[in-house]
Amino acid sequence: MKTKSTIALVLAAISLFSFNSADASIFYSYGYFSKNNLIKPSALITVRQPVSLNKKIASYTPSSSIINSNTANPSNTSQIQTSAVLSQEEKTLVELVNKEREKNNLLPLQVDENLCKVARLKAEDMRDNDYFSHISPNYGSPFDMLKKFGINYYMAGENIAVNSNVIKAHYSLMNSEGHRANILNPYYNKIGVGIVKNKQGNGIIVVELFIKD
């Protein structure tokens, strides 16, 4: 039976900056599906300050997601896998994510070691190259990056955030509709997280990668 493949991509960015009482907000989205044809582009951009990790950031949490095929039933994955590859902050973030899923009667996400490596590499890339975006100057989109590092998936999503600590980063994500949707997506069954200190050492850069494999 021939299966029709559908591809959909949604990127969303919502930001709140504090630069001498000046605020900036960004929302940008676009989508394409079926043979990579770009359709229904939309953009609303309001910028009063540049996006830079060298600035003091109150919170900045873009999200992105992609669907590579028709969605099926949620995975029957059992208990979360504990992983020695995670730092304490990363373990805390995974626990917070799975508590949110439990509260919404969703199965916990399993920690995927290779996915964590990619997430951490993305966080380091943003820090080292002073950018904050789903699109890396070195690796391309999150989905290009997953492909480059051999991560197979049917669905994938990315949340990124900058904040002073992991608790604040998590709740800033949960208070944003797009990021919350990634965290509570019933079809994802694996997660990879990467957290690194910013260059100034006064905050963290967070990357969450979600997949259904």
Q: Distance between CA atoms of 39 and 21, rounded to whole angstroms?
A: 37
Residues 104, 181 contacting (CB under 8 angstroms): no
* CB-count burial class (<10 Å; 0-12, 13-18, 19+) for 59: buried
Residue 178: the pLDDT is: 86
* CB-count burial class (<10 Å; 0-12, 13-18, 19+) for 45: exposed
Domains of the chain: 8-67+79-212 (3.40.33.10)
As a whole number, mean pLDDT of residues 176-184 equals: 90
DSSP reduced 3-state for 186 = coil
Give the whole-number percent of the chain exceeding pLDDT 90: 52
Q: Distance between CA atoms of 56 and 17, rounded to whole angstroms?
A: 8
* CB-count burial class (<10 Å; 0-12, 13-18, 19+) for 3: exposed
Question: Is the predicted pLDDT of residue 69 greater than 80, yes or no?
Answer: no
Question: Is the predicted pLDDT of residue 115 greater than 60, yes or no?
Answer: yes
Residues 154, 213 contacting (CB under 8 angstroms): yes
Residues 68, 156 contacting (CB under 8 angstroms): yes
Per DSSP (E only), the strands in 132-203 are: 155-163, 190-197
End-to-end CA distance of the chain: 21
- Is 0.75 topped by the overall pTM? no
Question: Is the predicted pLDDT of residue 119 greater than 80, yes or no?
Answer: yes
Average per-residue pLDDT in the chain? 71
